[in-house]
Amino acid sequence: MKLLFLRFVLITLLLTIYKSTYAQNVNDAVSFHIHSSNTSFPDTGRANGHIYDKVLYTAAEHYHDSTVLIIAPKNLDAKKKVDLVFWFHGWHNNVDIAAVYYELTKQFIASKRNAVLVLAETAKDSPDSYGGKLENQGVFKALVTDVLTGLKDQHLISAGCVPGHIMLAGHSGAYRVMARIIKNGQMPVDEAVLFDALYAETEIFINWIKADKSHRFIDLYTDHGGTDGETHTMVKLLAQDQVPYIETEEVNVTPQLLNNNRMIYIHSAREHNVIINNPDDFKLLLENSQFLSRK
């Protein structure tokens, strides 16, 4: 844990030094920030900050950032519709560090999807799963509009371009904001991918799965991240409702398996904070999405 903390500190320092460069072009990507009033914070639910383990995480430091990081391939083809992949980070994290530490930008561009990756700030550098305003009715829909406006301002999509397929993906504490977006966001979500993040909100995910046979749900879980118990509970509930699913080990995951199944529960022998990359699982799942097209 000490080495992990030191790595986060190092990345934070590098991003502080090179943030102006980072906000422009990264390899084959166009990367930039916008600010949106339709992100999680500020929000009245954390107006006085948040206390966790007897430590106060103040509103000014942790619940006031409305940053949205947007990453698009340089040769994005989006004249009529644009597919969107929203990533939500977990505890003690922020959008810029998550993009670098988990190599999300690298994996996204390497997947060669004709889509845009969006990281909207939630609780910044705080141990908190609360999704703020994004838990409320219609706020996610307004955020999507703001993202499209930002893409149009950068001349990356056409003036008449509308949202296409939407994937939600996230790590650890991201489960709550993802579930509330599915329930209250007022936008159709096609695919949800949880990276060691199924701690709760299981009923919301099940209702969404059962609402449309095209909805796709992928859950990666570990032995020590605290998600194994909830995963086992969820598959039992699906079995009771005769909803087809498969369970497999991470080492057995293949493109064919991903393409042929809608509900996939993947057990990983790895640790909680390395489940996203090394190997590049985010890239693999993007490449084998049943909705996202190749450039």
User: Does residue 13 surpass a pLDDT of 60?
Assistant: no
The values of phi and psi at residue 292, to 5°, are: -80, 130
Question: pLDDT grade, residue 266 (50/70/90)?
Answer: very high
Give Rg (Cα) of the chain: 18
The values of phi and psi at residue 16, to 5°, are: -65, -40
User: Does residue 224 surpass a pLDDT of 90?
Assistant: no
User: What sign for the dihedral angle of Cα 112, 197, 147, 277?
Assistant: negative
Question: pLDDT grade, residue 225 (50/70/90)?
Answer: confident
Sheet architecture: strand order including 162-171 = 25-26, 29-35, 67-73, 115-120, 81-88, 162-171, 191-195, 216-221, 263-267, 246-249
Least confident of 56-60, 274-278, 281-285, 288-292: 274-278
Least confident of 24-38, 63-77, 221-235: 24-38
Position of tokens 């383990």? 53
Tally of helices (H runs) and strands (E runs) in the chain: 10, 12
Does residue 254 contact residue 230 with C-beta atoms inside 8 Å?
Answer: no
Helices (H), 154-254: 175-184, 202-211, 228-240
- Looking at residue 27, its pLDDT comes to 75
Q: For the packed helices 202-211 and 228-240, what is the interaxial angle rounded to 10 degrees?
A: 40
Least confident of 7-16, 43-52, 139-148: 7-16
- Looking at residue 21, its pLDDT comes to 39
Percent of the chain clearing pLDDT 70 (strictly above): 91
Question: pLDDT grade, residue 278 (50/70/90)?
Answer: confident
203-224 mean pLDDT: 96
pLDDT tens-digit series, residues 108-134:
999 999 999 999 999 999 999 999 999
What's the chain's average pLDDT? Answer: 92
pLDDT tens-digit series, residues 232-247:
999 999 999 999 999 9
pLDDT tens-digit series, residues 161-184:
999 999 999 999 999 999 999 999
251-267 mean pLDDT: 96
Put residue 10 in one of left, alpha, beta given phi > 0 → left and psi -120 to 50 → alpha.
alpha
Each domain of the chain, given as residue ranges in start order, spans: 25-287
Residues with Cβ within 8 Å of residue 3, at least 6 apart in sequence: none
Does residue 118 contact residue 70 with C-beta atoms inside 8 Å?
Answer: yes
- Looking at residue 295, its pLDDT comes to 79
Domain 25-287 has CATH 3.40.50.1820: yes
Structure tokens at 137: 């009715």
CB atoms within 10 A of CB 23: 14
Question: pLDDT grade, residue 141 (50/70/90)?
Answer: very high
- Looking at residue 26, its pLDDT comes to 63
pLDDT tens-digit series, residues 187-202:
999 999 999 999 999 9
pLDDT tens-digit series, residues 57-114:
999 999 999 999 999 999 999 989 999 999 999 999 999 999 999 999 999 999 999 9
**Separation CA 76–CA 158 (nearest Å):** 11
